[in-house]
Amino acid sequence: EEDTAPPSPAPIPAIPPPFPRAPQAETGNATRRGSPFPAEKPASDPSRATAAAGSPRAPAESATTTHAEAGTPPATPSDDPAGEDSRGSAAGVTRRGWNYIGKLGFDGLLLFRVGANLLVFNPRIALQRIWYERTLARFRKAERRSQALLIPEPMEFEPVLADVLLKNMATLEAAGFAVEEFGRNFFRVTEIPDWLSLSADVRMFVRDLVDRIARLPAEFSRGNVAHDAIARIAAAQAARNREAFSDEEIPALLDELFATAQPNVGPNGQKIFFEISRAEIARRLQ
């Protein structure tokens, strides 16, 4: 008798899942093609979820595209992490509806597209506004920011100006200067504010400041007025010493500007930006 093996059992058919699997959305920082700024991130606060002008959000827009799909480079390390509030980041620029085009090539002016209009922006006047309000805030908070000089700057004043300097020493101290009396009518500057460049002519700057205080005693006799005058000087110096802004620095500059009380004008009344309408452009091209 031949031994016969028992037949193998038939395979059990696979049971299909009761519900089809939903496709998973891909995640990543969405970046618009051809734009240096990331696209707007979802915001939990409705007041900060305003879309760019002329670009309403689709109702079903919940997933973002990856950089590889968009054909754009990933976000730089200075960008906010995905999912965090984008205030203070490049996304804030897109949220305002400002689309950066580039530099105009003279006076450091920048060009933006706002809807159908063009917007010309002066970053140096914007920096003046930022430093003006920043310096006033430091005076209010008694917050002193200074940088020490490796070699103190010796100075000699005429008796009248020396007396002016001594009477206004507290104001200069609050502004970030450290001036020590070093004999009769002799002084030395050991610290300067952070808005004054270390490469600046410190002695000339301090002398001009003391001379201005002497010429305008009523202006500097009141604390608030003196603080305002020094804040204007600080704003002008900070903008004068500033090099051209890179594309990566522009979003942060705009965020700081729009956090000020008057983001449309500088401390001396100059316009920071202006728009040219589509109709005006068409009229000029006729």
| Domain 127-240, CATH class in plain words | alpha beta
Domain map of the chain by residue range?
33-96, 127-240
What does the mean pLDDT of the chain come to? 73
Q: Calculate mean pLDDT across residues 206-224.
A: 81
Q: What percent of the chain has pLDDT over 70?
A: 65
Query: Residue length, the chain?
Result: 286
Contact present, 60 and 25 (Cβ < 8 Å): no
Is pTM beyond 0.85 here?
Answer: no
In which band, very low, low, confident or very high, does the pLDDT at 48 lie, cut at 50, 70 and 90? very low
pLDDT exceeds cutoff 60 at 100: yes
pLDDT exceeds cutoff 50 at 75: no
In which band, very low, low, confident or very high, does the pLDDT at 148 lie, cut at 50, 70 and 90? very high
Q: What is the pLDDT of residues 150-163, one digit of tens each?
A: 999 999 999 999 99
Give me the pLDDT at residue 141, please. Answer: 87
pLDDT exceeds cutoff 60 at 82: no
Q: What is the pLDDT of residues 21-41, one digit of tens each?
A: 444 444 343 333 333 333 334
Q: Nearest 5°: phi and psi at 14?
A: -70, 140
Contact present, 239 and 135 (Cβ < 8 Å): no
Residue 67 CB: number of other CB atoms within 10 A? 15
271, 275, 280, 284: CA torsion to nearest 10: 70
For residue 240, what are the CA distances in angstroms to 127, 141, 215?
Answer: 10, 26, 24
Give me the pLDDT at residue 6, please. Answer: 55
Give me the pLDDT at residue 10, please. Answer: 54
Distance, in Å, from the CA atom of 106 to the CA atom of 84, rounded to the nearest integer, reads 36
Q: What is the pLDDT of residues 56-65, one digit of tens each?
A: 343 333 333 3
